[in-house]
């Protein structure tokens, strides 16, 4: 199975779909270029085919799901993850791993989308009993930010 399929299967299990990623990437890049959804989707698939992206994404989802199942051995850490403690920050650091592949535009876009939280990112960030998306919201933001960076560089080259 292609890495992008593995990633999309995991994302779908968590209620995130390719269209949601397209919407977030369009939010960032839309003001600079009139671009088709299918073009954005192709850029996103390319990003999801990268080994480093797959590894970060699967680790993030694993951390969220273990938290939901009450399976952290360190319950104090589990509480910090479950409540998305403002000073936790490891979720963002894992997401930087994706942005770092795509350069400075990906990093600045990530900071911006993490602040505004459009579409699915806002939904993932809503507090719901028994649900943990502490790591996933940042991964989704990082993938969208990376796609926007790729599109910016393709337009500029």
Q: Binders of Mg ion: how many residues, by CB under 5 A?
A: 4
The nearer residue to Mg ion, 80 or 152, going by C-beta atoms, is 80
**Binding test (CB under 5 A) with Mg ion, winner from 137, 141, 145, 150:** 137
Q: Kindly indicate which of the ranges 19-27, 50-58, 128-136, 149-157 contains the residues binding Mg ion, using the contact rule CB under 5 A.
A: 128-136
> Taking CB under 5 A as the rule, does residue 54 contact Mg ion?
no
The nearer residue to Mg ion, 23 or 114, going by C-beta atoms, is 114
Binding to Mg ion (CB under 5 A): which residues in 66-125?
A: 91
Q: Kindly indicate which of the ranges 21-29, 42-50, 126-134, 145-153 contains the residues binding Mg ion, using the contact rule CB under 5 A.
A: 126-134
Please, are residues 148 and 25 in contact by the beta-carbon 8 Å criterion?
A: yes
C-alpha span between 111 and 92 (Å, rounded):
9
Over the Cα atoms of the chain, what is R_g?
15
Long-range contacts of 4-8 (CB under 8 A, 24+ apart): 4/45, 4/46, 4/48, 4/49, 6/54, 6/58, 7/48, 7/53, 7/54, 7/57, 7/58, 8/48
Residue of minimal CB distance from Mg ion?
91
Name the residue among 153, 114, 104, 107 with its Cα closest to residue 136.
114
> Taking CB under 5 A as the rule, does residue 64 contact Mg ion?
no
The nearer residue to Mg ion, 46 or 68, going by C-beta atoms, is 68
Q: Kindly indicate which of the ranges 26-34, 49-57, 130-138, 147-155 contains the residues binding Mg ion, using the contact rule CB under 5 A.
A: 130-138
C-alpha span between 140 and 133 (Å, rounded):
10
- Which residues here bind Mg ion, judged by CB under 5 A? 91, 134, 137-138
């Amino acid at each position: 199975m292609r890495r992008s399929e593995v990633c999309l299967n995991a994302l779908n299990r968590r209620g995130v779909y390719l269209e949601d990623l397209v919407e977030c990437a369009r939010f960032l890049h839309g003001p600079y270029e009139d671009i088709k959804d299918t073009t954005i989707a192709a850029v996103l698939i390319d990003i999801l085919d990268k080994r480093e992206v797959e590894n970060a994404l699967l680790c993030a989802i694993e951390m969220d799901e273990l938290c939901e199942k009450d399976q952290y051995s360190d319950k104090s850490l589990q509480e910090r993850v479950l409540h998305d403690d403002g000073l936790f920050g490891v979720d963002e650091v894992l997401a930087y791993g994706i942005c770092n592949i795509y350069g400075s535009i990906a990093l600045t876009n990530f900071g911006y989308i993490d602040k505004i939280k459009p579409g699915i990112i806002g939904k993932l960030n809503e507090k719901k009993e028994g649900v943990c998306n502490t790591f996933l919201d940042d991964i989704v933001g990082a993938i969208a930010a990376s796609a926007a960076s790729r599109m910016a560089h393709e337009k500029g080259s």
